[in-house]
Amino acid sequence: MKLKNATAAFALLGASALVLSGCAAAPEAEPTATETTATAAPTVEYLACAVSDEGSWNDKSFNESTFDALLKSEAELGVQIGHAESLTPDDFPLNLQAMVDLNCDVTFAVGFGLIDSVNASADANPNMNFVTIDGFSMGATNLKPINYAMEQSSYLAGYLAAAYSTTKVVGTYGGVAVSAVTAFMDGFYFGAMAYGRDNEVEVRVLGWDPTLAEPTGQFMGDFAPNSGVSKSIAAAMINDGADVIFPVAGFQFGAVAEAFKDAGVDGVMVGVDKDIALTSPEYADIVLTSAEKRMTSAVYDVIAELSAGGMFSADAYIGTLANGGTGLSPLYGFDDKISAEVKARLAELEAGIISGEIDPLS
């Protein structure tokens, strides 16, 4: 069995949490994310592992999306899984080493924060396979990047946000100023501006302007869920007229909802990473749509191919509108509030982005 080095892994982890499942000798996993109800598949000799970014596997954002893929792979493919939560950046190299000690067949490193650590692990362990989500390879042939063209779906979200807004003032802010975050904000900005051009109205986007020589904007400095900083940024945008806000900072939807409530403004949000109206129904009545980063599908597909005997490739996977790696969530309760003309234009814009006729970064 692949878990012969479990004792060494536990010794390495310290404060972070390691869970192994799919093996009789391993402890049972706690239900830390969306559980699958699928009938368990026959067990196969394949160990798929993952190390989280800061936060928990049930962060309702990108960590959870990856964890959902592990659970789905365990249930539907019969693979064994191992995973470790990182409480601080200090845990990154320790947790990755724990996966090495477990002799994982593939290890997913979730988030840009693990870029240096996963590249170092790949270099030090050339006979093991790694995948970096929202990261990049520094040349290792055993490290596969998974990235997303989030400017594409976010362009559609920006267009929709401007169309829905009564003030024609919308806002966006991020966790930290890295490309995995600003790609969302870029697309949102240019999509909102496109609505203004199409309809000859002035649209303002607060919090980010990628057209500046040195773009600046609003950032929390971290991804702490529903933080006071997040609420204060949202409140300032609302005070400046924004009635649609796109927080690209993990789970900030409670903070934004409170800011709207405190201001007495009937505003809405655009969700990020997951279908927030579906996964967090308590906010569904103020989630216009979500720009989804569909990590569950990408991670599951990689595990499915490799566990079936496929060859590992270091070629990057890029999630796009064309391959379904990203896209907008359904409108749900807002469907009847968006005109047929706007819906038709969104479909045209999506087709144009897929064909290359429309650049979501201009």
Report if residue 360 sits inside a domain.
no
Q: What is the pLDDT of residue 237?
A: 98
Residues 234, 288 share a domain? yes
Residues 177, 30 share a domain? no
Residues 197, 288 share a domain? yes
Report if residue 136 sits inside a domain.
yes
Under 8 Å between Cβ of 66 and 108:
yes
CATH code: domain of residue 136:
3.40.50.2300
Q: Under DSSP, is residue 244 helix (H, G, I), strand (E, B) or coil?
A: strand
Residues 336, 197 share a domain? yes
Residues 262, 197 share a domain? yes
| Domain assignment of residue 83, given as a range | 6-148+295-319
Residues 28, 10 share a domain? yes
Residues 166, 91 share a domain? no
Residues 28, 141 share a domain? yes
Nearest to 41 by CA among 334, 339, 362, 304: 304
Instruction: Cite the DSSP H helix spans in the chain.
Output: 6-13, 62-77, 91-101, 115-124, 150-164, 179-199, 228-239, 253-263, 276-279, 295-307, 340-355
Report if residue 56 sits inside a domain.
yes
Cα separation, 9 vs 11, in Å, equals 5
Q: What tokens appear for 331 in the block?
A: 């409108």
Cα separation, 133 vs 236, in Å, equals 32
One-character DSSP codes across 155-194: HHHHHHHHHH-SSSEEEEEESSSSHHHHHHHHHHHHHHHH
Between the alpha carbon of residue 362 and those of residues 49, 194, 330, 353, the distances in Å are 39, 9, 25, 11
* 362 residues of the chain, pLDDT tens digit each: 444 333 333 334 444 555 555 442 332 333 334 444 445 678 889 999 999 998 789 887 779 999 999 999 999 999 999 999 999 999 999 999 999 999 999 999 999 999 999 999 999 999 999 999 999 999 999 999 999 999 999 999 999 999 999 999 999 999 999 999 999 999 999 999 999 999 999 999 999 999 999 998 999 999 999 999 999 999 999 999 999 999 999 899 999 999 999 999 999 999 999 999 999 999 999 999 999 999 999 999 999 999 999 999 999 999 999 999 999 999 999 999 999 999 999 999 999 999 999 999 99
Q: Under DSSP, is residue 108 helix (H, G, I), strand (E, B) or coil?
A: strand
Between the alpha carbon of residue 333 and those of residues 171, 243, 279, 283, 347, the distances in Å are 22, 17, 15, 12, 19
Q: Which residues pair with 47 in a beta bridge?
A: 80
Q: What is the pLDDT of residue 25?
A: 31
Report if residue 361 sits inside a domain.
no
The tally of domains found in the chain comes to 2
Cα separation, 116 vs 118, in Å, equals 6
Report if residue 83 sits inside a domain.
yes
Q: Which residues pair with 143 in a beta bridge?
A: 130
Report if residue 33 sits inside a domain.
yes
Residues 262, 211 share a domain? yes
Residues 350, 229 share a domain? yes
Q: What is the pLDDT of residue 232?
A: 98
Residues 173, 32 share a domain? no
Report if residue 1 sits inside a domain.
no
Residues 164, 241 share a domain? yes
Q: What is the pLDDT of residue 362?
A: 96
Report if residue 362 sits inside a domain.
no
User: pTM of this prediction?
Assistant: 0.87
Token look-up 């993990």 returns 250
